[in-house]
Amino acid sequence: MLDFHNHILPGIDDGAPDTEQSLILIRGLQELGFDRIHASPHIIADTHPNSPKTIEAARQKLSQAIEAQGMTLSIHAAAEYMLDDVFLSNLKAKQPLLRLGGDRVLVEFSYIQKPDHVESYSFEMQIQGYEPVLAHPERYGYYHRDFEYYEYLKGLGFEFQLNLLSLTPYYGRDVQKAAERLLKAGMYDFACTDMHHERHLEAMRAHFDKGKLQDLFDKYELKNDELLA
């Protein structure tokens, strides 16, 4: 199983602060059954202004630490893009986006404010050949009372990625209910950990194991491994 949404790269966003923590999270992911790991650090102009260069530097640093441990895992890296005005103007200026695999690109919305003109993001991405994957749609509380809007987003071309911890009380009852509803409606394409730190790892361990995760992926036809092709 591939986990393509996590913040294990050291020191470049609000995830692992150093390689020591990165390695703890990697070992935890492996125990949960994720044998392939693609990291997705935030790119948010205001708070985490990463670039392909900062991400590649962190990926190399982590790869060296992995090798020093005698482990054979290879880490790939893309990004999780915040859809905001800066993103849109960079996109329009044809700055290339980091892909998850194929032409897919991981994007997120603000938790606080519903994005305006969501159509322009998906339109602009798609005319440039990218396929947007929306991270944790269940965590955007402003859509909870407007379930049909999720269908609208899918119609615009967004694929949906579930945060596995959303199926537990970790992010709150409302998020859990939204995740269960989207899952039952067959609206998720992928499921990932969005692992930032050891609290996430402990919560994942408390609720999931390898067998349970595999059953979930099979039952809901989650296609993470398509991104390895």
- List residues binding Fe ion (CB under 5 A): 80, 194
Question: Nearest distance from residue 135's CB to Fe ion, in Å?
Answer: 6
User: Which phi and psi angles does 157 have, rounded to 5°?
Assistant: 110, 5
Question: Nearest distance from residue 111's CB to Fe ion, in Å?
Answer: 11
Task: Indicate the residue among 134 and 187 with the shorter CB distance to Fe ion.
Answer: 134
Q: Distance (Å, rounded) from C-alpha 98 to C-alpha 220?
A: 27
Task: Indicate the residue among 51 and 69 with the shorter CB distance to Fe ion.
Answer: 51
Question: Nearest distance from residue 80's CB to Fe ion, in Å?
Answer: 5
Task: Indicate the residue among 36 and 48 with the shorter CB distance to Fe ion.
Answer: 48
Q: Are 172 and 202 in contact (CB under 8 A)?
A: no
Q: Which residue is nearest to Fe ion (CB)?
A: 194
Question: Nearest distance from residue 40's CB to Fe ion, in Å?
Answer: 6
DSSP 168-217: TGGG-HHHHHHHHHHHHTT--SEEE--B-SHHHHHHHHHH--HHHHHHHH
Distances (CA, A) of 184 to 3, 15, 181, 214, 222: 21, 30, 5, 17, 13
Task: Indicate the residue among 165 and 187 with the shorter CB distance to Fe ion.
Answer: 165
Task: Give me 33's structure tokens.
Answer: 């059954």
Tell me whether residue 146 is exposed, middle or buried, using C-beta atoms within 10 angstroms of its C-beta: 0 to 12, 13 to 18, 19 or more. Answer: exposed
Task: Indicate the residue among 144 and 197 with the shorter CB distance to Fe ion.
Answer: 197
Question: Nearest distance from residue 147's CB to Fe ion, in Å?
Answer: 23
